[in-house]
Structures are given as C-alpha cells and as structure tokens.
Amino acid sequence: MSSRDNGRGVANAAPRSSTPPKSALRTFRRSVGPVVPIVPAAAIMAVFFVGPILWAVYVGFTDQGLTGAAALNPQWVWFDNFERLINDRDAHAAISRTVAYVLLVVAGQNVLGLALALLLQKRNKAMKTIASGAVVLAWVLPEVVVAMLWYAFLNTRDGTLNTILASVGLPGQSWLIDQPLFAIVIASVWRGTAFSLLIYSAALEEVSPESIEAAQVDGASGMQQLFYVVLPSISRLILTNLLLTTLQTLGVFGLIFALTGGGPGGQTQTLPLYMYEQAFRYNLIGYSSVIAIVLVVLGVILSAFYLYAFRKGSK
Amino acid sequence: MTLPSLAAPRPRLHAVFANVTLAIITLLFLLPLIWLVLASLDPGATLSLRAPERIALDNFVEIGTWELTFRPMMNGLIISGLASLLVVVLSALAAYPLSRYTMRYGDHFLYTVLFLSALPVTAIMIPVYTMFVRLRLVDSFLGCILFLAASSLPFAIWMMKNFMDGIPIEFEEAAWLDGASSLRTLRTIVLPLMTPGLAAVSIFQFILMWGNFFVPFILLLDPAKLPMAVTLYQFFGSFGVVNYGNLAAYAAVYSAPVIVLYLVVSRVFNGAFRLSGGAKG
C-alpha cells in the first residue's frame, strides 16, 4: 500500500493534481487514462465470475432444471427452494458434515503447518529443503492424483497403511468403509498443510529477534516464548490463514468425489457433492443454487466466528 | 540449570529433537507416494503395496496412445496454458495502475477483488453451467478458458500488485519524463524488473489450473476435449477392470509437469515462490 503513494506526484493521475488542465480532452485522458488497463480484467471478471454469482441468486428463486420444460422455461417460485432446504434432512446432515470436515481439516493443517514452520526455523539448508519439499510436493499434485494415492494408501487388502500396521503387529481396517470421514480429512490435511507452512514460515521471519531475546533474558521457557511472544506477533496472519484455508476447504470437491464419491451411504457427502447430486442426478438446478448460497453463507459464518474469537482473545 | 556452562547442551538437544521430528513427518508425507512409484514401474501391479518382481517401463509404454494420454495432455496444455497466459497478461495490466496511481475507486476495486478471491469457486459451478448453456459456451475450450481465467484473476491481481509494490518507482520516473506512455513503461521497465514475480504468478496459476478437476468436468462434455484431470478420474473410476500399473503410470505422467515446474521455481527463484503476494494479509 505504501509504495503507491510514490506515484502520486509524478503521474498526475490523482484528481487533486495541481497543474491546471489545458483542454477538456486532456482532463478526460488524465482522469480516465489510468483506469484503462484495468478494464479487460474487470470486464472478464464481471461477465464470467460476478455474473454467475448474481445468476446463482436469481436461479435460486426459480424451478430451473437441467432438462425438460424446467430447463427451457423456468418459473419464478419465490422461496420454494428455501422451504425445501428447511425440510430437507439430507441437506441438514450435509451441512453438519461439512462443518465437521472443514473444522477438522483447518485445525489439522494449521496446527501441522505452524508446527512444521516452527521446527524448520534455524534448521540447516538440507533439512529445510527436504522437509518443505516433501510437504509442498503433496500440495502441487493434482487433486485427483491425491485422491488416487489415498485410495491406494487406505485400501483394505494390503494397502500401504494396513501393510505398515501389520508389520508392527497391529490389525488393519477397511479405512474407506469404516472411517470414511477420517479418510477424507487426512487426505485433505496432507494436501493442504503446505499452504499453511508457506504462510507461517514467511510470518515467523517477521517476528523480531529482539523480543524473543528479551523473553529469554526474562527466563521464559520455550513454550512461554511461543505463546506470549511468537504467536501474538503473528496473530493477524494466523487469522488470515484460518479464513483462507476455511474457504478453500469448503470448496473441496474433486478430492472427495474421486476418493469416496460421497459414500459409503453418504457419510462423506459434503455440501459441494450434495449440490452436484441435486443438480445433475435430480435435475434440480434451482435448489442446488440455494445450496451454493448456503455454502457461501457458511463461509461467512465461519469467518465471523474466527474474527469474534480473535477479538475476544486479544482483549 | 542457571549455570552458563549448562546452557549449551539444551539447544543441541533441542536441535536433535527438531531434526528427528522433522525426519519422521517428512517420511509420513512421502508414504502415500510409495505405492505410486512402485506400481508405475511394476507391470503386474495391484492396489497392494509390494515390491515389483521385475522393474520395467511397460506401463508407460502401454498408456502411450493418442486417445488415452497425448490428446488429454494436449487439451490440458491448451486450457491451462492459455488460461494462465490470459490471467498473467490481464492481471499485470490491472495491477499496474492499482500499484502506481491513486484512483478514486482504487481501494474499492481492490477490496472487491480480495473478496472475490476468497469465494469458493465450487459454489458457482452449477449456475455457471446453466449460464454457459444459454451462452452456448458449454463444451468449448473458449468457455472453459474464460471461466478459469475469470475465477483466477482476483487472486492473481492481488499477487501481482504486491510484487509490483516492491519495485521502486525511480526508474519509471525517468521514462515518464521522456514522454513514454504508461503501457510502454510497464512493458519495458516494470515487467523486466519483476521477472521472478511474473514467473511465480504464471507457474502458480498453471499448477492450479492443471490440477483443477471440477471446472473441465462440468464445462466440457466431448471426450475428445477432456484434459488429463478428467480422463484420470474416468480411468480411476473404472474400478475392477482397471490395470493398476497403467493407472499409476498415467497419474505419474499427469503429475510430471507440475512437479517439474515446482522444482524449477524453487530452484531458480529460491524463495520467491512463497506466495509472497498472498501472505501479506
């Protein structure tokens, strides 16, 4: 934000320019000129991103379908889709399932990412390269590949996990059948930890060494330094990261869709998968738009929850 | 414990503890990959973890056909390549005035962009599908590219602006005094100075789009147009009949470009690829 101020004097783009305009055309150029490069990006975002968002809200009030009469000529149905949502037990189950999934994944990847970032501080270059390399590798892999890897890893018959457990004398499990939520959570944490690690590593570099030294001089233990010096000084980035990872996790589709398909028996059917099913299997586009709105609202509620918790914590 | 002579062993113990813990976590992170590596080199692979009886490249040879591998790969390159190119060009253009000028609605625009970048794109896929049906953009590369670009632009603009803010303005002042237009200044002075940032944004965008499954899965129908993200899912979805060695090789081929790109970025720019743009919350 700060370096933007440098441009003011030279570019004369600010309306408060001191030199008097020489002609109307010139004034127009000066005030509109700087905006021109933004136009292509703004136009594409408006048509193909903001447009669909507004469209989703509109469609939520119609009986829009995928095929048949409801596709060609959808009717305005007011709050029918919202009423359906209120009475739809499967949707309620999907909402609570989604909240559980998101909270577990966000907690897992933030704790693991922060712990890794703390452990990686002051390590030698080789350790840093290898450890962060392995974690970030999990992040750059495409989500369908991740789903496949975890399918093989958690496979019942001689999957990697069961083979390892057997080698130390522990019984295996049909993880994807018996613990499906655990399966999608651990696969998502595995994939998402890198994001938190990258953000927390950058954040920890900004913590002033003086304040840590001061705490050490005062005789603070490692844990005390962490909780009273380090964490408070990066609290803003923790909050930002919680928000970002929550919104990312809410939108996870491909990983769950390819790993469990929402099953068994709908046990891993989060809202995005439920939305997809309502639209493409039951032909209910209008209703699935309402579910999309719920998904966004859920993001807003969770964000507000973090903001509230942080404000309370800092008091 | 208060004696100075006793202070030394503790940090060393701490370092040993940290290194051991890190080694264990690293190993745990690599575990799920072992099956992929072994199975892709094992002509008789199953879903089970086992050492190959014979290490061979048969799986890679068997999947090397136009319909199965090369066409989806080319489709993916066209979609992800063009979309990320579009995103980089448009976000650089948009970020320049946002970084350099004070504009009346500049901050409003930036906060809108930030808000949009946080929205889960998944939520609007179904409305996008019905909208694209009406616009006749379903099942076309153009529609898929435009949507991918539009949904990636908010974050890219934010990243690009943060990189641009880091470039000192003095060089441009000279060019402005010589009468160069702002677009010319951007092209000849600013962009060359922020090559690492540009590369980071392009590669980051490409990696995200190459791995994106939902967008092409919803917007493309013709099997001849599908990228590897979707064909791998179809391959993987045909359980039972599938040859797992081939499947593992296919996943390895599909993952190779992003792994190579990641290695290039982390090697060449050593640290520039830290989401620096996104991290400044």
- Domain for residue A87, yes or no? yes
> Is the same domain home to B49 and B167?
no
Residue A74 domain-assigned?
no
A98 lies in some domain = yes
Task: Say whether A49 and B116 touch across the interface (CB within 8 A).
Answer: yes
Residues B193 and B218 in one domain: yes
Q: What's the pLDDT at A15? A: 44
Is B210's Cβ below 8 Å from some Cβ in A? yes
Report yes or no: A111 at the B interface, CB cutoff 8 Å. Answer: no
> Per the domain annotation, does A284 fall within a domain?
yes
Does the pLDDT at position A13 exceed 70?
no
Q: Are B129 and B267 in the same domain?
A: yes
Q: Does residue B68 sit at the A interface (CB-CB below 8 Å)?
A: no
| Mean pLDDT calculated for residue range A76-104 | 88
In angstroms, rounded to a whole number, what is the distance separating the alpha carbons of residues B17 and B24?
11
Q: Number of structural domains, chain B? A: 2
Q: What is the pLDDT of residues A145-177, one digit of tens each?
A: 999 999 989 887 778 888 888 888 888 888 888
pLDDT band at residue A83, thresholds of 50, 70 and 90?
A: confident
Among A55-64, A148-157, A208-217, B217-226, top mean pLDDT goes to B217-226
In this prediction, residue A279 has a pLDDT band, given cuts at 50, 70 and 90, of confident
**Counted domains in chain A:** 2
* Residues near B88 by beta carbon (within 8 Å), at least 6 away in sequence: B156, B198, B201, B202, B205
Tens digits of residue pLDDT in B88-105: 999 999 988 888 877 777
pLDDT tens, position by position, B136-172? 889 999 999 999 999 999 889 988 888 888 888 887 8
A145 inside 8 A of chain B by CB:
yes
Q: Do A150 and A84 fall within a single domain?
A: yes
Identify the domain boundary among B14, B32, B58.
B58
A170 and A279, same structural domain? yes
Chain B interface test: which of A45, A55, A59 (most B C-beta within 10 Å)? A45
What's the mean pLDDT when you consider all of chain B?
Answer: 83
Structural domain contains residue A95: yes
Say whether A295 and B207 touch across the interface (CB within 8 A).
no
Give mean pLDDT, residues A119-143: 87
A182 & A293 share domain: yes
Establish if A111 belongs to a structural domain: yes
| pLDDT per position as a tens digit, B12-64 | 777 888 889 999 999 999 989 988 898 888 887 778 777 788 888 888 888 88
CA distance, residue B64 to nearest chain A CA (Å): 18
Q: Which of A38, A51, A59 sits opposite B94 (nearest CB)?
A: A38
The reply to whether A38 and A102 lie within a common domain is: no
DSSP assignment of B203-251? HHHHHHHHH--HHHHHH---GGG--HHHHHHHHHHSTTTS-HHHHHHHH
Give the torsion sign (CA, B124, B125, B129, B132): positive
Residue of A2, A39, A48, A252 best to disrupt the B interface, most CBs of B under 10 A: A48
pLDDT range class, residue A21, cuts 50, 70, 90: very low
Please tell me if residue B126 touches chain A, with a CB cutoff of 8 Å: yes
Same domain, B41 and B119: no
CA angle A73, B140, B222 (to 5 degrees): 90
Cα atoms in the 13 Å half-sphere on the side-chain side of A204: 18
Dihedral, CA of residue B205, residue B188, residue A20 and residue A5, to nearest 10: 50
Q: How large a percentage of chain B has pLDDT more than 90?
A: 30
What is the model's pLDDT at position A11? 41
- What are the φ and ψ backbone dihedral angles of A266, each rounded to 5 degrees? 75, 10
Q: A146 and A266: one domain? A: yes
Do residues A113 and A188 make contact, with C-beta atoms less than 8 angstroms apart?
A: no
Query: What contacts A243, CB < 8 A, 6 or more positions away?
Result: A303, A306, B118
Asked whether residue B137 falls in the same domain as residue B222, the answer is yes
Considering the domain architecture, whether residues B82 and B108 belong to the same structural domain is answered as: yes
Give yes or no: residues B9 and B140 share one domain.
Answer: no
**Closest chain B residue to A249 measured between Cα atoms?**
B120
Query: How much of chain A exceeds pLDDT 70, in percent?
Result: 87
Asked if A212 and A276 sit in the same domain, the reply is yes
The CATH number for B193's domain is 1.10.3720.10
**Shared domain check, A269 and A122:** yes
Q: Is the peptide bond before A264 cis (omega within 30 degrees of 0)?
A: yes
pLDDT at position B256 over 50: yes
Least confident stretch, A7-11, A65-69, A80-84, A263-267 = A7-11
Could you tell me if A130 lies within 8 Å of chain B, comparing CB atoms? yes
| The last residue of a domain, from among B18, B36, B58 | B58
Task: Say if residues B97 and A14 touch (Cβ distance below 8 Å).
Answer: no
Residues A53 and A103 in one domain: no
Distances (CA, A) of B152 to A78, A195, B158, B212: 33, 17, 10, 11
- CATH number, domain with residue A243: 1.10.3720.10
Rounded CA separation A308/B224 (Å):
50
Beta bridge partners of A62: A76
Closest residue by Cα to residue A249 from A192, A292, A168, A171: A192
Instruction: Tell which wins on pLDDT, B203 or A206.
Output: B203
- The whole-number pLDDT of residue B168 equals 83
Residue B241 — pLDDT band, cuts 50, 70, 90? low
Same-domain status, B152 and B51: no
Q: What is the mean pLDDT of residues B65-77?
A: 90
| CA distance linking residue B100 with residue B76, whole number of Å | 35
Is B247 an interface residue toward A (CB < 8 Å)? yes
Domain of B21 in residue numbering reads as 4-58
Domain residue limits at A53:
2-59
Q: Which residues of A touch B169 (CB under 8 A)?
A: 3, 6-7, 10
Asked if B91 and B161 sit in the same domain, the reply is yes
Average pLDDT over residues A102-122: 92
Q: Which helix (H) or strand (E) holds B167?
A: none
Considering the domain architecture, whether residues B192 and B250 belong to the same structural domain is answered as yes
Per-residue pLDDT, B163: 86
Q: Taking residues A257-273, report their average pLDDT.
A: 88
Do A152 and A224 lie in a common domain? yes
**Among candidates B19, B46, B232 on the partner chain, residue whose Cβ is nearest the Cβ of A123:** B19
B203-216 mean pLDDT: 92
Q: Which residue of A has its CA nearest to B147?
A: A48
- Return the pLDDT at A159: 82
Last residue of a domain, one of B58, B80, B98: B58
The vertex-A228 CA angle with A222 and A230, nearest 5°, equals 75
**Residue A187 and residue A93 in one domain:** yes
Within this chain, do residues B42 and B69 fall inside the same structural domain, yes or no? no
Out of A4, A37, A244, the one facing B118 most closely (by C-beta) is A244
Question: Per the domain annotation, does A301 fall within a domain?
Answer: yes
* Residue A71 included in any domain: no
Q: What is the ipTM of this complex?
A: 0.86
Rounded to an integer, what distance in angstroms lies between the CA atom of residue B217 and that of residue B237? 13
**One domain for residues A51 and A111:** no
Same domain? For B28 and B102 the reply is no
A229: left (phi over 0), alpha (psi -120 to 50) or beta: alpha
- CA dist A303 and B99 (Å) reads 28
Please give the angle made by the CA atoms of A99, A50 and B230, to the nearest 5 degrees: 65
pLDDT above 90 (res B199): no
